[in-house]
Amino acid sequence: MLTAEVITPWLNLVGMPWLNTLFVPLYYSSLVVSDLCSDIPPSLPQIDLSTLNATANTLLQVLRVVAWPSLCECVPGTPSAVPPPLPTTPKPPGWPDPITFTCDPANLCASLEAIRGQLANLQTTLGLEYALTTLIQRYSLPFAFIPGAVHGPLTGQGTFKVSRLCGLRYQVVASDPNRPVTPDVPPYKWDLGWTSVTDDKGLLQERRVNRDSFDWLPKEMPMALTVGYSLTPGTTITIQELEAEP
């Protein structure tokens, strides 16, 4: 298993300990030694600042180059095999220095206090990240919602106020039996009316009332301040608010 403790001696042998920062994405993965040593070491790719954002395949290629001298050897024979030269490349200007931590044995309490302070700051940051992720999940990604207030029975035209909803649930209580119905699944009912959501600037979205029951979850719903409805004669519905889960 690849860790900093495993990789550091390989880098020290080839004189490139500054490369350790590069291999953090490969920590806790595996390197198959039998595969590595079945051939001469691969060529070392060009190392510059762009390598810090290289793909995993490129990072693995660099790692195989620096690991070969520590893990592999040439098979003895006649004439004697000549080991490949150690890979080397200069440290690019601007390459980040590894993070180091100091600890004063005479004042361990100060080090512990510094660690506790850093952990407290990290906990605060993670709390903010969690709150933001929860908010994004509720209003931008699939999530669970809970039923809220029910409005109705509603007829004719009207509006009601809402705030920060995820969607609306519609139920047709009654409709004119003479209006045409298309035998879809579920049946499509013609000319029952319209519903809409608006904010303080105007219309956000509108939807035809055309099924006995349906949920409406437009992406603009969290911005809606008012729900409007305009129903044809003989049509009665209820509208239930759908709220974000706690």
pLDDT, one tens digit per residue, over 153-189 is 999 999 999 999 999 999 999 999 999 999 989 999 9
What does each C-alpha distance from 139 to 120, 199, 226, 240 come to in angstroms?
29, 16, 18, 18
CB atoms within 10 A of CB 59: 18
pLDDT at site 96 = 86
Segment 217-237 shows an average pLDDT of 95
Residue 104 DSSP label: -
What does each C-alpha distance from 85 to 14, 67, 70 come to in angstroms?
10, 13, 12
- Label residues 1-21 b or e (16+ Cβ within 10 Å = b): ebeeeebeebbeebebbbbee
pLDDT at site 136 = 72
Residue 227 in this model has a pLDDT that exceeds 80: yes
pLDDT at site 168 = 97
pLDDT at site 1 = 82
| Nearest CA-CA partner of 229 in 158, 161, 141, 169 | 158
Residue 142 in this model has a pLDDT that exceeds 60: no
106 pLDDT band, cuts 50/70/90, is: confident
210 with 232: CB under 8 angstroms? no
CA distance 83 to 48: 27
pLDDT at site 188 = 95
Return mean pLDDT, the chain.
Answer: 88
The most confident of the ranges 65-69, 124-128, 206-210 is 206-210
pLDDT at site 203 = 96
208 with 216: CB under 8 angstroms? no
- With pLDDT > 70 as the criterion, what percentage of the chain qualifies? 96
Burial label, 182 (beta-carbon count in 10 A; 0-12, 13-18, 19+): exposed
Segment 62-69 shows an average pLDDT of 92
**pLDDT tens, position by position, 19-57:** 988 888 888 888 899 889 988 888 888 999 999 888 888
pLDDT at site 140 = 66
pLDDT at site 126 = 84
Angle between helices 4-13 and 56-71 (to 10 degrees): 70
Angle at 105 between CA 104 and CA 109, to 5 degrees: 75
